[in-house]
A and B are shown apart, each in its own frame.
Chain A
Amino acid sequence: MHWSFYIVAGLTIGSAIAAMSLRNIVHCALLLTVTFAGLALLYLQLNAQFVALAQMLIYIGAVAILIVFAILLTRSSETTGDSPLSLAGVVSGVLIALAAFVTLARAVASSALIRQASPAPVPASVRQIGQELMKNYVLPLEIVALLLTAALIGAAVIALQERRRSE
């Protein structure tokens, strides 16, 4: 395995741990952006260039900005940070997550499927992806378009509701 994988994986996991454990919420959102960028680099290493580009555009460009906006809109002056849970809550949450990780890691380590030789990378050009989207996946594409429209209208209606009632 190439050493760049370990650097990118360490960056991704380290920034994810920091994003979930820091007290300042704005720092958490910024480190989440680093995690998304690390995932885009992992996609590039896996030869999925289009998905890496989509990850950068959608997650770093849109979702991270949306999260920062939500944090700044919901930040009151007295509670800038996140008051932590009790110690028992933190310990039980970490134990549940560790149990999930150990279960997944044991399943990965004991699987026979992953021991086979890795095949040569297959190029997935944007032309191929576009043709697949227009041929085999055209119905899911239309459904996703409908879902995104409904989600956009729904998000606007939900977020504007209180103001309309008070006026």
Chain B
Amino acid sequence: MSSPLAQYLIVSAALFSIGLAGALIRRNAVLVLIGIELMLNAANLNFIAFWRYGKNPQALAGIMFVIFSIAVAAAEAAVGLALIIAIYRHYKTTQVDKIDRMRG
């Protein structure tokens, strides 16, 4: 476990697990979204670590993938928070286990 790539991968796995635990445990919808953001960031860290210690870093594929991933994550955060605000206007709560009807 002395290789630097392995250490970055362990950090990334820990971040992913923390995000997963948060998305499973917390009941506020905003905090569930924060957990999902943490998992996405862990994936980005993996991409950059594999780019840095990979066989062909001249191709810049890892950096390109992370740039597009950040853009998609920003779009996901905007739409997700807009959905949470719309749900809050309707139900007056953001606790995910109280939102149990699909029709208004």
CA distance A98 to B90 in the complex (A): 36
Interface string of B23-41 (1 = CB under 8 A from A): 0111111110111011001
Give the dominant DSSP class at A's interface.
Answer: helix
A side interface size, CB within 8 A = 85
Does the CB pair A93–B24 fall under 8 Å? Answer: yes
A167 to chain B minimum Cβ distance, whole angstroms, is 13
Give the dominant DSSP class at B's interface.
Answer: helix
Q: Kindly count the residue-residue contacts between A and B in the assembled complex, taking CB atoms under 8 Å apart.
A: 232
What band does the interface of chain B fall in when counting residues whose beta carbon is under 8 Å from A?
35 or more
- A interface residue numbers (CB < 8 A to B): 1, 5, 9, 12-13, 16-17, 19-21, 25, 28-29, 32, 35-36, 39, 42-43, 46-48, 50-51, 54-55, 58-59, 62-63, 66-67, 69-71, 73-74, 76, 79, 82-85, 89-90, 92-94, 96-98, 100-101, 104-105, 108-109, 114-116, 118-119, 121-122, 124, 128-129, 132-133, 137, 140, 144, 147-148, 150-152, 154-156, 158-159, 161-163
